[in-house]
Structure 1
Amino acid sequence: MICEFAASNNPLIHTLIIGSLAYLALIVLLRLSGKRTLSKWNAFDFVVTVALGSILATVLLSTDIPLAQGALGLGLLIGWQFVFTWLSVRSRPFQQWIKGHPTLLLWQGELRKEALQRERVTEGEVRAAVRSQGGAALEQVAAIVLETDGTFSVIMQNDSEVEPSALSDVWGL
């Protein structure tokens, strides 16, 4: 009834009513899907987020797309994202296919030039990551990892020789 009124009248009223309802539908669907849907982005999350924005914009601005169809599109994307993340938690090969893998860029103060080139990371970006963690020299760093979401993890040297179990899934170690 509200949708019919919005579609049959002024496009501005359509955008106001349908846009508000679509936005509420998106919020409800995101809350139902859990925190993982809104986590830091990897390539898969980026695609889902852009697609959600595209659907929301289309529903907001097009009088040809019914609210129910827009809500179904939003729900479909969020549903697939939920399935893919559920599978990635239960299957390591699936997780690596979806998310990729963390890459070791520096080990024991030594830059790994091949990894930097492959990942398209500059030495300056690595130095900036060290500085952001309070380091003054690369030699103070045990490891720098480029995570699957594009962030750098910096592990500083410590006095004890402990095997770095947090690096067990990192390529290049």
Structure 2
Amino acid sequence: MTDAAATLHDWVFKGWESIGRVVFVGVLAYIGLLFFLRISGKRTLSKMNAFDLVITVALGSTFSTIIISRQTGLADGLTALALLVTLQYSVAWLSIRWPWFQRVIKSEPTLLFHQGQYLRLALRRERVAEGEVLAAIRSSGAARLEDVTAVVLETDGSFTVIQGVSQDSVTSLQNVQ
């Protein structure tokens, strides 16, 4: 076998030992991840704000590293998963108990469109284009801009479109900047 063919072979198939390691470590890492998620609660995988989203992505990245990387042992990987889950749990716990901590960690929802008017300063500050607001309005099913009371950029980066004018829509804008 030529050097090129050997290299190509290694790129495609490193051997049964490598596949066995992926299966063995993958199953154990999966069980470990399920265990950590179960004891930490549903909030660990929520996407209520940007921090939660980062933790979710980091868990997936760490999980894949455990499975694929030969340099990362199972114990190291499970420790990393436990650390991420513990940090997320701690930040959520602290932000519930101390409002000042929550203000430091989490952003507030931002009003981008209100009663037919784009709030241009808010759009610029949040780096959102009018077209993105229009896309959110279309996605909500609103047929006309006049039907939309407000569009809010939530702390997790999603848009909330409030349709119709009612007492509920005023209440729903209570903690929005």
Paired position in structure 2 for 1:168? 174
Paired position in structure 2 for 1:130? 137
**Aligned equivalents of 1:67 and 1:144: distance in 2?**
46
Paired position in structure 1 for 2:89? 82
Any idea what SS the aligned residue of 2:32 has? helix
Contact in 1 for aligned 2:50/2:157 (Cα 8 Å)? no
2:61 to 54, 60, 66: 54
CA RMSD of aligned residues (A): 2.1
Give the deviation of 1:17 after TM superposition.
0.6
Paired position in structure 2 for 1:121? 128
Q: How is 1:8-23 mapped onto 2 (pairs within 5 angstroms)?
A: 10-23=17-30
2:162 to 146, 155, 170: 155
Query: May I ask how many residue pairs the two structures share in their alignment?
Result: 162
**Aligned equivalents of 2:90 and 2:170: distance in 1?**
32
Contact in 2 for aligned 1:144/1:153 (Cα 8 Å)? yes
**Aligned equivalents of 2:164 and 2:61: distance in 1?**
45
Give the deviation of 1:136 after TM superposition.
2.5
Deviates more, 1:136-145 or 1:77-86: 136-145
What stretches of structure 1 of length at least 5 have no aligned partner?
1-8
TM normalised by structure 1 equals 0.82
1:126-152 per-residue CA deviation (whole Å, 9 max, x = no partner) reads 122222333233232221110011111
**Aligned equivalents of 1:58 and 1:162: distance in 2?**
46
Contact in 1 for aligned 2:111/2:151 (Cα 8 Å)? yes
Q: Residue type matched to 1:10 in 2?
A: E
2:73 is the alignment partner of 1:66:
yes
Q: Residue type matched to 1:133 in 2?
A: S
TM normalised by structure 2 equals 0.81
Give the deviation of 1:49 after TM superposition.
2.2
1:69-88 per-residue CA deviation (whole Å, 9 max, x = no partner) reads 21111011101101111112
2:119 is the alignment partner of 1:112:
yes
1:48-80 per-residue CA deviation (whole Å, 9 max, x = no partner) reads 123222322222123333322211110111011
**Aligned equivalents of 1:128 and 1:35: distance in 2?**
30
Contact in 1 for aligned 2:63/2:77 (Cα 8 Å)? yes
What stretches of structure 2 of length at least 5 have no aligned partner?
1-15
